[in-house]
Amino acid sequence: MSPSEPLPAAVGEDAAPPRTAALVVPHVAPPQTPRPLRLGVLASGRGSNFEALVRSSRHGALQGEVVGLVVNTPHCKALARAGRLGIAATVMNHHHYGSREALDHALVDHFTALQVDVLVMAGWMRIVSPVLCQAYDQRLVNIHPSLLPAFRGLNAMERALAAGVCITGCTAHLVAPEVDAGPILIQAAVPAYPNDTLATLAPRIHAQEHRILPIAVAMAGQRLFARP
């Protein structure tokens, strides 16, 4: 095709791309574990991923039970959801701890007492220290709204839009001490359309987070039982 020839309609500007919700991740069920997992959740905000985990475990897709939620922000929506869902919730306001390590020690004590197998950072807006990473080595899971390693850190969706990406998504991964780093468990790719805004893109990404997080948690649980 010469440079002056118009692009075929299928890829030209006039062709409206079909709007799909997600590009990959087939409908896979969370893997099975030898016994139901005891799950702890950390949240700071809305808590929609926390609720997705509770629902997935109650409807049998995820073999496990959410035995406790900790929030660091006293009035967050996640706390209200825990009340509605009947999940024991505790506020650990980070302002009341002298250091990151002090908060993380309190978290380890709390979730150890609850005999938690896998701990999930579901919108936990705190950088975690090696104290938590080591105590929950290979069983601390984070969910992040980008295809890591792209767009680590805050405002990932806004930055993906600003960069003009056509494909973005979400990642569930095991947590290493650096921000949004560690072995990737599962990702879902989500299309970003030219006229997308945060308001239109975010629900598409959140819907996929709610699908992949229970799968990632079960994967972490499976690895836990497979350890020598």
- When CB distances to ligand GRF are compared, the closest residue is 123
Task: Read off φ and ψ for residue 71, nearest 5 degrees.
Answer: -120, 155
41's enclosing H/E stretch is: strand 37-43
User: By rule CB under 6 A, what count of residues binds ligand GRF?
Assistant: 14
- If one asks whether residue 213 binds ligand GRF (CB under 6 A), the answer comes out as no
Locus of tokens 């069983």 = 139
**Residue 4 C-beta: closest distance to ligand GRF, Å:** 45
**Residue 141 C-beta: closest distance to ligand GRF, Å:** 11
Lookup: tokens for 218 = 């079960």
Active-site annotation holds for 144: yes
Q: How far, rounded to the nearest angstrom, does the alpha carbon of residue 209 sit from its chain's CA centroid?
A: 6
Cα→Cα distances 32→16, 44, 219, 224, Å: 41, 29, 8, 12
Contact pattern from residue 42 through residue 81 relative to ligand GRF, giving x for each residue in contact according to CB under 6 A and a dash for the rest: -x-xxxxx--------------------------------
Contact pattern from residue 121 through residue 150 relative to ligand GRF, giving x for each residue in contact according to CB under 6 A and a dash for the rest: -xx-------------------xxx-----
CA dihedral 210, 211, 212, 213 (to 10 degrees): 40
Residue tagged active-site, from 144, 173, 206, 210: 144
Locus of tokens 């309190």 = 106
Q: Which residues here bind ligand GRF, judged by CB under 6 A? A: 43, 45-49, 122-123, 143-145, 170, 206, 209
Give the active site residues: 144
